[in-house]
């Protein structure tokens, strides 16, 4: 199969697409829908003294946003990121969509995975009603290169941030709404559709033979923690840490709790 232009880009333009700090065991983070690599800045700062910590922008935040793609393509991009970094293996961390990708990366490239960090994510697909709601939400954006309407950006904040954050840290929420309102509509449409119809991978989780940490905000309005818990029964070596006062974007909403969970896991295993 011919490698896509986007995947080639990740191999050849890694410096422009990543934040790369520290040295040691590599830990690579992939963001969720509407987010970008800066959502992991607190984690990069916490890990840099002891690890090579990397976060990268997925296709939707690059000039490759206009073409359709799926999670298999994004897993190929992640492999190309590792190539560009000169790393054979890494701990792969993913939030939400990034977690959907990370699971598929572990199944497709097991020889390149030292461990997984699954943040506010799950192995099962979304329910039909959810798929319909999300699809209708972005339908007007399908071929639009104009910025996302601010009204839509404001509306989706309730999916990305928990109640505590919306009440106690409105500046964080507003800063991201401002950013979302600059995105080309087609970028968001293709980003959401990269995972909207994904198949269930629960029946393959037993194949994952590396340590796995599931991190989940207790107030996640998009993926309730109970939807992540079944992974613990299927993955041979997995544990879960729930983060109080955090929603779907727990890495930014409660960074201290997320950092403690991740560093404790990595320090024990690596």
Query: Percent of the chain beyond pLDDT 70?
Result: 99
- Domain contains 54: yes
Q: Which pLDDT score is estimated for 2?
A: 67
Band the pLDDT of 1: cuts 50, 70, 90.
very low
- pLDDT single digits (tens) 117-162: 999 999 999 999 999 999 999 999 999 999 999 999 999 999 999 9
- Domain contains 27: yes
CATH of the domain at 211: 3.40.50.1820
Q: Which domain holds residue 205?
A: 5-126+199-269
Cα first-last separation, the chain: 35
pTM summary value: 0.98
- Domain contains 171: no
- pLDDT single digits (tens) 84-111: 999 999 999 999 999 999 999 999 999 9
Specify the number of domains making up the chain: 1
Q: Whole-angstrom Cα distance, residue 88 to residue 82?
A: 7
Tokens of 207: 């194949």
- Domain contains 147: no
pLDDT, average across residues 69-79: 98
pLDDT, average across residues 56-81: 97
Q: Whole-angstrom Cα distance, residue 47 to residue 80?
A: 22
- Domain contains 215: yes
Mean pLDDT of the chain: 97
């Amino acid at each position: 199969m011919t490698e896509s232009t986007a995947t080639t880009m990740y191999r050849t333009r890694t410096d422009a697409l990543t934040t790369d700090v520290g040295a040691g065991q590599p830990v690579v983070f992939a963001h969720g829908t509407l987010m970008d690599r800066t959502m992991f800045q607190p984690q990069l700062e916490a890990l840099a003294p002891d690890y090579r910590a990397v976060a990268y922008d997925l296709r939707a935040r690059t000039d490759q946003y206009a073409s359709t793609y799926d999670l298999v393509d994004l897993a190929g991009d992640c492999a190309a990121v590792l190539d560009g970094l000169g790393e054979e293996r890494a701990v792969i961390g993913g939030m939400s969509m990034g977690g959907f990708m990370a699971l598929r990366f572990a199944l497709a490239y097991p020889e390149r995975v030292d461990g997984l960090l699954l943040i506010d994510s799950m192995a099962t697909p979304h329910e039909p009603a959810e798929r319909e709601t999300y699809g209708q939400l972005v339908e007007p954006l399908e071929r639009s290169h104009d910025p996302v309407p601010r009204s839509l950006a404001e509306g989706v904040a309730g999916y990305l941030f928990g109640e505590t954050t919306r009440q106690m840290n409105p500046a964080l929420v507003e800063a991201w709404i401002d950013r979302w309102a600059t995105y080309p509509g087609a970028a968001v449409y293709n980003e959401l559709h990269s995972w909207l119809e994904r198949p269930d991978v629960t029946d393959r989780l037993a194949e994952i033979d590396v340590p796995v940490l599931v991190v989940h905000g207790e107030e996640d309005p998009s993926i309730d923690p109970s939807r992540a818990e079944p992974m613990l029964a299927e993955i041979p070596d997995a544990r879960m840490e729930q983060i109080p006062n955090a929603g779907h974007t727990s890495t930014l909403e409660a960074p201290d709790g997320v950092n403690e969970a991740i560093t404790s896991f990595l320090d024990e295993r690596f």
